Structure formats: C-alpha cells, structure tokens
Amino acid sequence: MVGELVLWFISFVAVISLIGFSAYQLICLSDLEYDYINPYDSSSRINAVVTPEFIVQGILCILFLLTWHWFPFLIMAPVTYYHIKLYMKRKHLIDVTEIFRALNEEKKYRFIKLGFYCCIFIIVIYRLVTTAVMLLINEDEWNLESGMF
C-alpha cells in the first residue's frame, strides 16, 4: 500500500511538471503574440521543453501500464501515441520561420493539452488522497489490533 502512495505521489509531481511545461509554452506564445519576445527566442524556449514534456508524459503512461492502473493508462495512451507520432515525423518542434502563421493553431493545441493535463491532475490528486486515507485507516486498525493505544 505504501508503494501505491509513492506511485501516486510520483504521478502528482509528473503531472504538475506537465502542467508547468504547457503553461510555459502558452506564456511564450502569448509573449510572441503581443510582441514582447522575438520569434527565435520564443521558438527556442518552446522547443527546449517539448522533448522533456514528451518524455515525462511517456514515462508516466508506462508507469501506469506497469502498475496495472488501467484507467489512467487508457486515458493517457492516445496522447502518448500522438506524441510519439509527432516525434517520429519530426513535427514536434516549432519552426522559427512559420511560427507566426501557426500561432493560433499552436495556442489552441497548447490550451487543449493544458486542459487534458488538468483533468489528469484531478484524477491523480483524487487517487493520491484516497490512497493516503486508506493507508492511514489500515494503519489505525493495525495499531488497535496490536494493542497500541
């Protein structure tokens, strides 16, 4: 049961980092839209966090598969497949010369991913709390049976 709590805590940290990556990309795109940053800096900043985001999301999906948590795995598997497909086609990076043309689509894509990661966050936080409460309840029952308190 403690392993389950560690799994959900690791998932919590991973989902928080995914939300942070998506929010950072949206901020960079918004700064570009309002001309606070030039296209080269914006695309290089976004491209620097795309691959770590894909890696964290893939590891999280594999972690759910290996621990037999089917519901979160089945929710994250299509997004992981889409990320792998983008990476294999080399379309995961933003091109500096095409960034203004694709700005609205990129922002929509990032908003959808941010919403998806927020939904996953709700699931993970719920499972983290329920696992912690169940662990505490079982520990209290064990303490009562062993004669402590």
**8 A C-beta contact, residue 21 and residue 53:** yes
**Tens-digit pLDDT profile for residues 24-74:** 999 999 999 998 999 999 999 999 999 999 999 999 999 999 999 999 999
Please name the residues in contact with 92: beta carbons below 8 A apart, sequence gap of 6 or more: 50, 51, 54, 83, 86
How do the domains of the chain map onto residue ranges? 2-144
pTM for this prediction? 0.90
Would you say how long the chain is, in residues? 149
Please name the residues in contact with 24: beta carbons below 8 A apart, sequence gap of 6 or more: 45, 49
SS3 content of the chain, % helix, strand, coil (to 5): 80, 0, 20
Query: How confident is the model over 117-126, as a mean pLDDT?
Result: 97
Q: How deeply is 148 buried, as exposed, middle or buried, from its count of CB atoms within 10 A (0-12, 13-18, 19+)?
A: exposed
d(CA 64, CA 69): 5
Which pLDDT score, from 0 to 100, does residue 136 have?
87
**Tens-digit pLDDT profile for residues 72-106:** 999 999 999 999 999 999 999 999 999 999 999 99
